[in-house]
Amino acid sequence: MKKNDRGRKKADRVKDDKELDAYCAAYMDFLAKGKTERTCYAEAVRLLEACGFKSLDTVTTFKPGDRIYRGYHGKTLFAAVAGKAPVAEGIRVVGGHTDAPRLDLKPHALYEKDGITYFDTHMYGGIKKYQWLAMPLALYGTVVKKDGTRVDIAIGDQPGDPVFMISDILPHFGKDQLDKPTRDAVAAEDMDVIAGLGPIDERLKKAYGLEKDDLLSAELEIVPAGAPREVGLDRAFIAAYGHDDRVCAYAGLSALLDLAQAKKAPNKTCAVVICDKEEIGSVGATGMESSFFENTVAELLDRQEKNARDIDVRRALERSSMLSADVCAASDPHFPDADSVGNAAKMGKGPAAIKYTGAAAKSGASDARAEFVADIRRIMDGAKVDWQIGELGRAEKGGGGTIAKCMARFGMDVLDFGTPLFSMHAPWELASRHDCLHTKKAYAAYFAD
Ligand code: MN
Ligand code: MN
């Protein structure tokens, strides 16, 4: 619970609890539907369209208060509410990602051994392999046939659905495995998923109209089966697959939806970017290293000034700023060695600004300048957001990065700012409900400034 609980009036506490319950219920619903970057995209577009956002392709102007979105390949999304100031003066962005660590099926996805059919998998993102053994798994994705017909697959999360599983060795015979370093407990090429006992070709054909060769042109993902759950007697946490980074992406989306429903247009154009491929280095057409973002800003300028030049696009980008909405590691009492003492984000103390990420001597870091951090301090404290500031983890223990550097390359101010997690990148990650709500409040405050 919040540290200032004691001093608050009972009526205020009840109001706060209702807001917390409503927000977390909506977030858990989003997570239950959004198990992949494609299903997150579909759910986000559904919420945006229900709130009056129009596809940018269908509009010719972008006036204060207008709501637009622009999608890229059904995975990466930009949505904005037009501000009173023109786009040329810069926009405010909250950018997160909805891809999450998982197992992808290989192009030749099926093989048989000793009469058992397996899905052959390849890792996507940084996983601890052993965590994925002996637990229920779901299969999601899209198969595109040669004629362009698309077949969407979702097996494992509806009542009555079968699930899939990777087997582990029994402890009775597991001595050799248990003597290995955990990273070697299972080989990547052995992370194959039981798909059936005997051939499953006929079932693929009957249920989905798919030939085995159709799987050659598919994106199929193995993810943990099951919907998010509240954790603890006080229900203070949410356990879910993919908090990283749907917790921040959804918070940004939710803040933008609220902004769209407000009576007044924001001062500056406010935008949310929900992108793909962060977990493998933000590469590819749908990753933030692509030209998607700058192309979208160019499109917005084009809707406001008929003869916008390249230099205008660059100026607009330089005058923009972003909260890089990604999760951070919460200090875990079980693993104090990972902590940067006095600079580790604490669970339940609100979202954390992470001034720099990177590894070793800030290698690969996007380090926010003091002036921008000061501005964010002013905004967050002014809006009474429960928030904290720190760094990623103990020096020389490891490291990581976010999309911050992809955006900072346009010359704009960027600060990492997101929800602290326990068990990041595990099949089930933990976030505090309080931190989830205040992450949204933080992004709303940034938009409202
Ligand atoms: Mn992330
Ligand atoms: Mn991650």
Tens-of-pLDDT digits for all 449 residues of the chain? 444 555 667 887 788 899 999 999 999 999 999 999 999 999 999 999 999 999 999 999 999 999 999 999 999 999 999 999 999 999 999 999 999 999 999 999 999 999 999 999 999 999 999 999 999 999 999 999 999 999 999 999 999 999 999 999 999 999 999 999 999 999 999 999 999 999 999 999 999 999 989 999 999 999 999 999 999 999 999 999 999 999 999 999 999 999 999 989 999 999 999 999 999 999 999 999 999 999 999 999 999 998 999 999 999 999 999 999 999 999 999 998 888 888 999 999 999 999 988 888 888 888 999 999 999 999 999 999 999 998 888 888 888 889 999 999 999 999 999 999 999 999 999 999 999 999 999 999 999 99
Give the Cα separation of 433 and 2 in Å (integer): 11
Q: What does pTM read for this prediction?
A: 0.96
Give the Cα separation of 175 and 185 in Å (integer): 11
Ligand with the closest atom to the CA of 102: 2
Ligand 1 is a single-atom ion; what residues have CB below 5 A from it?
A: 244-245, 326
Give the Cα separation of 218 and 237 in Å (integer): 35
Cβ neighbors of 407 (< 8 A, separation 6 or more) are 93, 95, 288, 293, 322, 324, 414
Beta strands of 313-378 (E only): which ranges? 321-324, 328-329, 352-354, 358-359
List every span in the chain annotated with CATH 3.40.630.10.
3-100+242-448
Length of the chain: 449
Task: Specify the CATH class of 3-100+242-448 in words.
Answer: alpha beta
Ligand 2 midpoint to CA 247 (Å) = 12
Dihedral angle computed from the Cα positions of residues 441, 325, 279 and 132, in that order, rounded to the nearest 10 degrees: -20
Token code pair at residue 425:
């990148």
Which DSSP symbol is given to 287?
S
Ligand 1 midpoint to CA 405 (Å) = 13
For the chain, how long is the longest CA-to-CA vector? 73
Ligand with the closest atom to the CA of 249: 1
Q: Which fold has domain 102-224?
A: Aminopeptidase i, Domain 2 (2.30.250)
Q: Would you state the pLDDT for residue 7?
A: 61
Token code pair at residue 212:
């085995």
Q: Would you state the pLDDT for residue 6?
A: 53
Ligand with the closest atom to the CA of 126: 2
Q: Are 146 and 124 in contact (CB under 8 A)?
A: no
Amino acid letter, residue 259:
L
Ligand 2 midpoint to CA 48 (Å) = 25
Ligand with the closest atom to the CA of 354: 1
Token code pair at residue 343:
């600079």
Cβ neighbors of 349 (< 8 A, separation 6 or more) are 386, 387, 388, 420, 435
Q: Would you state the pLDDT for residue 399?
A: 84
Ligand 2 midpoint to CA 425 (Å) = 6
Kindly report the backbone phi and psi dihedral angles of residue 311, in degrees, each rounded to the nearest multiple of 5, phi listed first: -65, -30
Token code pair at residue 234:
């006080």
- What is the Cα gyration radius of the chain? 23
Ligand 2 midpoint to CA 117 (Å) = 31
Ligand with the closest atom to the CA of 418: 1
Q: Count the Cβ atoms, other than its own, within 10 Å of residue 54.
A: 13
Ligand 2 midpoint to CA 29 (Å) = 21
Of 63, 34, 69, 30, the C-alpha closest to 49 is: 69
Residue 271 Cα distances to 232, 293, 305, 378, 415, angstroms: 35, 11, 19, 20, 15
Ligand 2 is a single-atom ion; what residues have CB below 5 A from it?
A: 244
- Point out which residues pair with 55 in neighbouring strands: 69
Ligand 1 midpoint to CA 420 (Å) = 11
Give the Cα separation of 277 and 283 in Å (integer): 6
Of 323, 332, 374, the C-alpha closest to 352 is: 323
Ligand 2 midpoint to CA 151 (Å) = 28
Token code pair at residue 202:
């006929």
Ligand 2 midpoint to CA 245 (Å) = 7
Token code pair at residue 243:
């908090």
Ligand 2 midpoint to CA 74 (Å) = 20
